[in-house]
Amino acid sequence: MRGGYVFSEVLTGLRRNITMTIAMILTTAISLGLLGGGILVARMTSHAQQLYGDKVQVDVYLTPEVSANDPDCRDVCLTLKDSMQNNPDIASVEYHSQEDAYNEYKERFAGQKEMLDIVRKEALSAFLRVRLKDPAKISIISEQYSGKPGVRSVSDQRELLNRVFSVLNGVRNATLAIALVQAIAALLLISNMVQIAAFTRRTETSIMRLVGASRWRTQLPFVIEAVVAGVIGAVLAVGGLIAAKVWFVDKSLSSVMATGVLPPITANDMLIVAPILIGSGIVLAAVSAYLTLRAYVRT
């Protein structure tokens, strides 16, 4: 099969159904753009879990009696500390006295005189700061030490982290759901485009079949047309994601990402997503065109 002939047929088909081609390219671009956005959010969530996972800690606050009467952690406090150090799920344990708790409070509310005036050192509890080997077991540690002798309460960051991750997961799921709907629309448009293209060239393909051309020989240009449109849509999707990153994400969320609350979207993330989108565009177009030709078009 001559490559020049196939190339000419593809260009002719794309020009002949220009409005349908443009619609298919844009729909594919939107679908793949949303898919790429979902993948980026998923990667951001994964990076955030790793980021926060290294920082997850549990503070076990001691009762006022233990805090006041055992400032050097030698009695009830030491029993608790030894128990935690022997716990296979705990990486490290640090004791913080009332003095340490008060200094930490002053650092947290530095510049807010009214907050500093209402708290005395004696009102704060000493605590044991626990770091876990596996952040996912944070609830187990809370269950094990709540209600133990000398323990007033156990404070962890589970609720805050769950809220952050639930928001990110919700955005990811919504984006992927919309991408799925758009993908179905793109499949229908590709199918329609292939059927229209085959109908407008039915005389040519019939003649080719009469002179001995195989079905694959007559169908290949239609598949390539769909693939070309899919690749263009994928490239537009990648370009849209890069533009959104540079002009929206990097500018609007720069302060949040600078503080480490959210991990940034890096160039490496874009390099990973780009080939996925281009490959998805090729597969989406090729499979849809092939199935349409096999099911509806007799060429």
Q: What is the mean pLDDT of the chain?
A: 77
| Reported confidence tier of residue 149, pLDDT bands at 50, 70, 90 | confident
Using one digit for the tens of pLDDT, what is the confidence trace for 23-53? 778 888 888 888 888 888 878 777 776 666 6
Q: Is 92 helix (H, G, I), strand (E, B) or coil?
A: strand
Most confident of the following: 47-56, 80-89, 256-265: 80-89
108 C-beta neighbours (distance < 10 Å), count: 9
Straight-line distance from the first to the last Cα atom of the chain, in angstroms, rounded to the nearest whole number: 17
Distance CA 139, CA 202 (A): 67
| Reported confidence tier of residue 236, pLDDT bands at 50, 70, 90 | very high
| Reported confidence tier of residue 173, pLDDT bands at 50, 70, 90 | confident
Using one digit for the tens of pLDDT, what is the confidence trace for 103-143? 888 887 777 777 777 878 888 888 988 888 776 677 777 78
Strand blocks (E) in the chain: 57-62, 90-96, 127-132, 151-156
Q: Which 8-state DSSP code applies to residue 131?
A: E
| Reported confidence tier of residue 1, pLDDT bands at 50, 70, 90 | very low
Q: Give the start-to-end residue ranges of the domains of the chain.
A: 3-52+162-296, 57-156
Q: Beta strand pairing status for 127-132 and 151-156?
A: unpaired
Q: Record the pTM.
A: 0.61
The whole-number pLDDT of residue 200 equals 65
Only one residue has tokens 């370009």, namely 239
Percent of the chain residues past pLDDT 70, beyond the cut: 76
Using CA atoms, how far residue 238 sits from 86, 181, 216, in Å, is 51, 19, 32
Distance CA 27, CA 17 (A): 15
Rg of the Cα atoms in the chain: 31
DSSP per-residue codes, 173-210: HHHHHHHHHHHHHHHHHHHHHHHHHHHHTHHHHHHHHH
Distance CA 179, CA 35 (A): 5
Q: Is 70 helix (H, G, I), strand (E, B) or coil?
A: coil
- CB contact at 8 A, 36 and 242: no
- Specify the higher pLDDT residue, 189 or 38: 38
Give the bridge partners for 94, in sequence order: 129
The whole-number pLDDT of residue 2 equals 54
Going by C-alpha positions, the residue among 56, 76, 82 that lies closest to residue 140 is 56
Instruction: Name the CATH topology of 57-156.
Output: Alpha-Beta Plaits (3.30.70)
| Reported confidence tier of residue 278, pLDDT bands at 50, 70, 90 | very high
- Mean pLDDT within 288-299: 70
